[in-house]
Every structure is written in C-alpha cells, then in structure tokens.
Structure 1
Amino acid sequence: MSVIDSQTDICFHTWPGDKNKVGAIKPVFANVPARSSYDVVIVGGAIMGAATAWFLADNPDFQGRVLVVERDPSYENTSTMTTTSCMRQQFSTGLNVRISQFAADFVKNLRRHLHGAEYVPDLSIRSFGYMYLADTEEFAETLRASHAVQQQAGAATRLMTPPEIAQEYPFYALDDIVLGSINTVDEGFFDATAVFDALRRASRDRGVEYVSNEVVAMSCNPTGAKVESVTLKSGEIIACGQVVNASGPRADRTARMAGIELPVEPRKRYSWIFKAEKPLEVDLPLTIDPSGLHVRENGGGTYQVGAHFGPDPRVDYDDFTLDHSLWESEAWPIIATRIPQFEAIRLQSTWAGHYAMNTFDHNAIMGPHDLVENFIFLNGFSGHGLQQAPAMGRGTAEWLTYGEYRALDLSAFNYARIPAGNPIMEKAVI
C-alpha cells in the first residue's frame, strides 16, 4: 500500500518486516537519464549503490556525474528491505569488525555525517547484542578464536559459561550448551530504512541522478579491457567512465554483461515475526541457535526469526515463494526448545528474501576486475551487507576517485584474490 506526498514528491510504503508499519521512502524516479554520458554508472540503487553515490557526491575531489540505475524503486524484494536490520562486531576477521565499528558510528552520528541535513533523523542502536550459542567444543573453540580477534580490534565481546548465561538470561534452555558469546556495545537493531532513505535523498540533493530502469547489456572496447557503455531496458545507450556493480543477488548477471564470471548467487532466507503470549522480561539478544536459526527482539512483545533449513541451493532471482510448512515443522520447534517461554506464540507475518552469497569465501568482493579495469565490484556480502554499507560505500567512492582506499584499507576484499585462489574466509556467517 502506498500514498504519494505531493509536498515532497516521495512515496511511503510498507515493508515485509511489519505489514502495518509505514516506513521506506520511495522517490519518484525518472525512467530515462537526463544525459547520454556519465563518469560513473552504478548498477543497483539499494543500500550499497546509495552509500557509494553519497560518498562520491560528498567528496570534493570527485567532480564527475553519477547515474544510479535501479530496476525496481519500490525495493520490495531487495536484500536491503528484507533484512533483519541489525549490526554486529562478532566476526572472525579484524577487518570485518572495524567495518562494523564505522557503521555504528555512522548510524549514531548520521546527521553529522550527512552535514546536518534537516530531514536526517537522530538514530541510535538498540544494543541487545548477538548471542552465539555453541553446543560442541569445536564450535566453542571457534568462538574463542573469534573473541581474540574481536578483542584485539576493540570490540566488547564477552565469552559466557552456561551458568553465566543463565544468570543474565534465565529464559534459555542450556542443557546442551558449552559456551556463549555476546557483545552488547554497538551490536543489535538499528533503523536501516532511515539510513537508506537519508543516503539516497542526500545523494540526490548533491546532484546524483537516479532512474527507474534496468541495465540489460554492456559494450566493451575492442580489447575487452574497458566497458564503454551500458544499454538500458528502455533502449538508451549510456556512455560511462566507470561502472559499479551494486546489484546485490543479481551481481553475477550484471558481471556476465561484461564477460566476467562472479561467484555470487542468490540464496533464499525465510523470516517470520511472532507475538509471544508471555513476552520475555528483558530484551532478547539476536540469538544464533546451534541449528543456525536466529531469533531476536522486535518490540511490543513480538520477535523476529530468520533461517534456512536443509540444502542451500542457488535460487532464481525472482523466486520469493514461501514454504509455509517450515514454520510448524522446523522453526517453531527449535524456538520453543531453546526458549520454552515461546511455546505459546502467534505467527504474525512471513516473508522470503535473498542473500547475495559469495560462494568463494563469504566475504565482500570489491575493487576493479583484473582485465576489465573500469568494472568495479561491490558484491557478495553474504548476509551482512546492510551493516557494512557505510564503510564499503565510502571505500568504493575512494577507489573511484583516487584509485586507492584511504580511510580504511579494504584491499583484502579486492576481486584479485578470486583468480589468484586466495580466500579470506569469514566464519561468522549466519
């Protein structure tokens, strides 16, 4: 359901996480670009494309023109809009920890980062934390190793024994648990939609052009070393200096237009919101059960669940079909076993979204292609892209402007590691 606000020329619509809640802002985009040539064409206008566009527009050293092409400006099925809207610092690599630390600062100081724009809200992070529960000594060792990485990066992660967990969170059933890991500093829920809306509006205010269209083809020079133009679904051919692939779970499709194979594919994830007959007395951390299911506080006696079960195959780009049997047969039994107080609950809503899964090493793929030098990757975030968008958008804008990363060295994520066969595995993928 949508309603146009004629004063601001924007459209407010609901999103899957709460069917009764008005939230995301959908600008009314033009369908055809105003020009036939741009310095940067960003393919995909969700959170990664919007973050890159903002940081480019905000950089005084960048003087070029930017076009963002978004195939569906309702964003209904994007990973951005079907997310759990959380951030964490509990990663297994120090660089991913530091990326989330910048995200936390960016969210809490959004108005300052966007230079005091009056439409930017004051935001905070509801820091109920992530609770990883290990039911084997092997998984406990993984948590201990990750804890050492997180501590070195300055995160406030704590390891907890089962009695310690029971003391602070008495609602868990812990008979099978060996160890827990939690961080309640800058780790939890944030208003991701507000951040996305602000980035998009701020970049447009700085001159970035967004169009409702789709890139369907690319043309390279005779040697194949440079993308010279993109072709839109409406027929226009747009010359470009550089192309940014920010097309989420469709990233491999976009890459193939330039003759590039990319190990990113859409993987389906289910989400549910339920209301508890007896809500918990304290906020529920985003709890990662050893089964892989996660459940978190949602507010007002409601809770959000996310999971996949069994094999995890590639799915079609437009496959958001629900398997309604999973709630009764898989999700609810796990929840009620781990938190017995959730035996009496009422399901309120269900939806499916896609991870842009990097099958190579579950980490971001950034920087230029090794042969097609002006084709820039911003892909493969494997479920943690929303919280990484501020740092990754900033880094991509730096690369486009200077040919290097400046604020935070993200070169470990450059595409070059893929043909070289040098993965940097992220173990903390939910």
Structure 2
Amino acid sequence: MVSKIVVVGGGVIGSAVAYFLRSADTSVQVTVIERDPTYARASSALSAASIRQQFSTPLSVQMSLYGIEFLRSIGERLAVDGQRPSIDLHEGGYLFLATPAGETILRENHALQTSLGADIRYLPREALQETFAWLNTEDLVAGTYGVSGEGWFDGYGLVQALRKKAQSLGVRYVATEVTGLRREGRHVREVLTASGETFACDVLVNAAGPWARRVAQMLDIELPVHARRRSIFNVSSPAKLERCPLLIDPTGVYFRPEGTTYICGTSPSADRDPDDLPLDEVDHALFDDVIWPTLAHRVPQFEALRVEHAWSGYYEYNVFDHNAIIGYHPDIDNCVFANGFSGHGLQQGPATGRGVAELILQGRFVSLDLSPLGFDRVLENRPVVERNVV
C-alpha cells in the first residue's frame, strides 16, 4: 500500500503531481522537496510560458488539449479559501510557417492535429498575407494558425497557484536539496537531504527538471536529460502588429507579443549548446547574429528593434528524442520519472500530474495513456519522433 510519496522538484511538474495525488486520495502523505522556493532558476518561472496543440505526435497533441482545458479553468480548480488565481491566459494562437521544403510536413501535421480536435487553420500563402498583412510571405508556401486553444500565460503564476493549492490540500513542501537516495534492491527506501533530514518513501517521483539527471545518477541510472540554456529577449519596436500570434519562423526563430513589447528567441546551433551554461550569461550574440536578421526579414517593420531586457532559463532537454520520459524505470519498482519535457513542461504539466497520480494510486494510466513515453523506449532505442521541435 502506498502511503508516503516523496516528489523531488517543486516546479510545475512536481507541484502538479502533488496536487493531483492529494486531490485523488487525501490518505497519502505527499512531501515535495524543492531546493529553491523562490524559483529564481526554475524553468517554470523563466520560460516563454506558452501552450500549443501543433505537434506531430498524437500524444503531445492530446496532452496539450487537456492542458488548455486545465488552464482555462484554473481559477475554479486551484482556488484557495475563495481566492481564485489568475495566470493571464491569452489565447493568441501559434503560427507555424513553412517554405516549400516544409509544406508536406505542415500538411501532415495539420491533418493529425485537426483529427484529434485541435482548432488549427491551414493558411495558404495568399490567406497568410491577407490575415497577417505585416508578414513577409515571399519565401513561404503556407502556415498553420491556432484559432483557439493556443497562446501564452504567466508561468510563474501557474507554479505558485499549483503549489498553494497543493499545500492547502496537505502537501508538505521542504526547502532543501536532495543529496542521496538509499536503495535496497529494486526499491528506494529513503531520501537524504542537505538539511540532514531524511524522508522514507513508498514511491519516489523524480520531477527535478534540468537537475533530474543528477537525481537519477544517485540510483545508478543514466537519464538522457541535460540542462540546456535558452536565452529570451524582450524587445520594443515602433511596429504595431495587428492580430499577432506566437510566430514560429521556418528557421526556428520565434516571437510573440508581451504587453506593448515582444519576446523572442531560438535554439542555438549544436556547437553552441553545451550542458549547464551559466544562466546569468545571456547569449547576446545569438540575438545579433540570428534572431534580429530573421525577424527583420519576416516582419519588415522589425528592422528597428531594441532589446529592453534579456534573461536565460534551462530546458530540461531530452537528448534522446526531445519528448518527456514518464513512468517507472524497469529496474526500480517504486521510482517514477517525469522528466525531459524539452520546453513543453508547462503545457504538459497538468496531463503529466494527472497521469503520474493515476499510475501511482491506481497502477495504470486511466485518463490518457502516457505509456508510449515510458523509460523502456530509451533502453530499447525506440525514439518518439517529434517533427515540430521549437
């Protein structure tokens, strides 16, 4: 019988797991160990905080469909003592653009997304130009636009709302760092911490985000999840773009509105993307060399951009296939992994929290089968290929 559950990591994933566990069964004792309760370096607080259904794998689409349902009802779901949280959800949509080389994939992805109920519109070049008059379409063939169910929100607000709701349900949060795990055969028995306090557990959940690999190594498990820095730039422009979504250029450069300004970014090339780069060193050369020229080409009015602010956060990057690893490890009976979301953790957090809680309490995924994301696929070299990696 499961009575004591320890969750390592109190960001959106860990807090969602804790919330769903206690919502489903108030008899279980849930402890969340989070080394930084300010979330100053947490991916939950430092990301671009957005949600989309424009993926190429059915499960990712389904997870985000539940994610938007959860976010829309957050005031009711996560209210505490009559106080309803707000995350300023703005369903401005995603706009994926394709050159002729990407047209086939765009069409195939669109067919999949709409077959699962996502509200995505296919826009040929002429419709793109008509809908977004500020867009340079000369090298494009089409785009896909999320009419509803896609957009952006306050990521820090989401993690705080989940944390406060979980605490109101009886979850204990402990501000310390995990320093070791005591394992006996196929079971984790105790969690050791820097404060000297130890925690016995019937189930351990690894939700440590970019630091999950270190936790796994305490069990002699190699987890293919690495901390990769991503820089985000807040820019101002005299341009006033009507009906502006979160735009994904074919190059991978993205931007979206942020109040009266915009935020933008892109993934660096592989040779400029090692592990654990310092978060206080923003990659300004990436903006100058890649992002600004791309934005000026795609939106001519963006030729005059000024960086107002910039910061960096970590992707918990699954180097195996860029998709989450969710479920028990085949060699340890009571350790659940929820890691490697590769930039999708905020939007997939609700489905992950619900699924992990079901797996622990009921022994299986009930609402949505997340088993294709299990650890077995890594060990058996069966990647789940996502073609819409951003």
Q: Which band: TM-score by shorter chain?
A: over 0.9
Higher RCO (CA < 8 A, seq sep 6+): 2
Number of matched residues? 388
Structure 1: distance between partners of 2:81 and 2:135: 44
CA contact (8 A) 2:324 2:340 kept: yes
How far did residue 314 of structure 1 move?
3.2
Partner of 1:87: 51
Partner of 2:18: 53
Partner of 1:246: 207
Structure 2: distance between partners of 1:317 and 1:327: 17
CA contact (8 A) 2:8 2:34 kept: yes
CA contact (8 A) 2:135 2:299 kept: yes
- The aligned amino acid for 1:190 is F
Q: Which moved more, 1:408-417 or 1:379-388?
A: 408-417
How far did residue 169 of structure 1 move?
0.2
Partner of 1:236: 197
Which secondary structure does the structure 2 equivalent of 1:283 belong to? coil
Partner of 1:217: 180
Q: How does 1:217-296 map to 2 (within 5 A)?
A: 217-221=180-184, 223=185, 225-280=186-241, 282-296=242-256
Deviations 1:156-176 (A, max 9, x none): 112211111000101111111
Partner of 1:390: 350
How far did residue 330 of structure 1 move?
2.2
Whether 1:423 and 2:387 are equivalent positions in the alignment is no
Whether 1:403 and 2:363 are equivalent positions in the alignment is yes
Deviations 1:29-64 (A, max 9, x none): xxxxxxxx971111100110110010011113x522
Partner of 1:353: 313
Deviations 1:57-105 (A, max 9, x none): 1113x52211111111111111111111110010111111111111111
How far did residue 275 of structure 1 move?
1.1
Partner of 1:68: 32
Structure 1: distance between partners of 2:155 and 2:71: 9
CA contact (8 A) 1:320 1:353 kept: no
Partner of 1:78: 42
- The aligned amino acid for 1:403 is G
CA contact (8 A) 1:108 1:124 kept: no
Which secondary structure does the structure 2 equivalent of 1:80 belong to? helix
Whether 1:308 and 2:267 are equivalent positions in the alignment is yes
Structure 2: distance between partners of 1:317 and 1:205: 36
CA contact (8 A) 1:119 1:198 kept: no
Structure 1 unpaired stretches of 5+? 1-36
Structure 1: distance between partners of 2:43 and 2:106: 27
Structure 1: distance between partners of 2:157 and 2:283: 30
Structure 1: distance between partners of 2:239 and 2:77: 40
TM-score by length of 1: 0.87
Structure 1: distance between partners of 2:293 and 2:52: 26
Deviations 1:146-203 (A, max 9, x none): 1111011011112211111000101111111122111121111123332222111011
Of 119, 139, 156, the residue aligned with 2:83 is: 119
How far did residue 326 of structure 1 move?
2.6
CA contact (8 A) 2:118 2:149 kept: no
CA contact (8 A) 1:109 1:122 kept: no
Structure 1: distance between partners of 2:377 and 2:256: 35
Partner of 1:34: none
Whether 1:155 and 2:115 are equivalent positions in the alignment is no
How far did residue 380 of structure 1 move?
0.6
- The aligned amino acid for 1:215 is V
Identity of aligned residues (%): 38
Structure 1: distance between partners of 2:386 and 2:173: 33
Structure 1: distance between partners of 2:155 and 2:286: 27
Q: Which moved more, 1:308-317 or 1:93-102?
A: 308-317
- The aligned amino acid for 1:227 is V
The 1:352/1:115 distance shift into structure 2, 3 A limit, reads closer
Which secondary structure does the structure 1 equivalent of 2:45 belong to? coil
Structure 1: distance between partners of 2:327 and 2:140: 41
Deviations 1:216-252 (A, max 9, x none): 111111x2x1111111012222211111000111111
Structure 1: distance between partners of 2:167 and 2:277: 28
More helix by share: 2
Which secondary structure does the structure 1 equivalent of 2:356 belong to? helix
- The aligned amino acid for 2:308 is Q
Partner of 1:164: 127
RMSD, matched Cα: 1.7
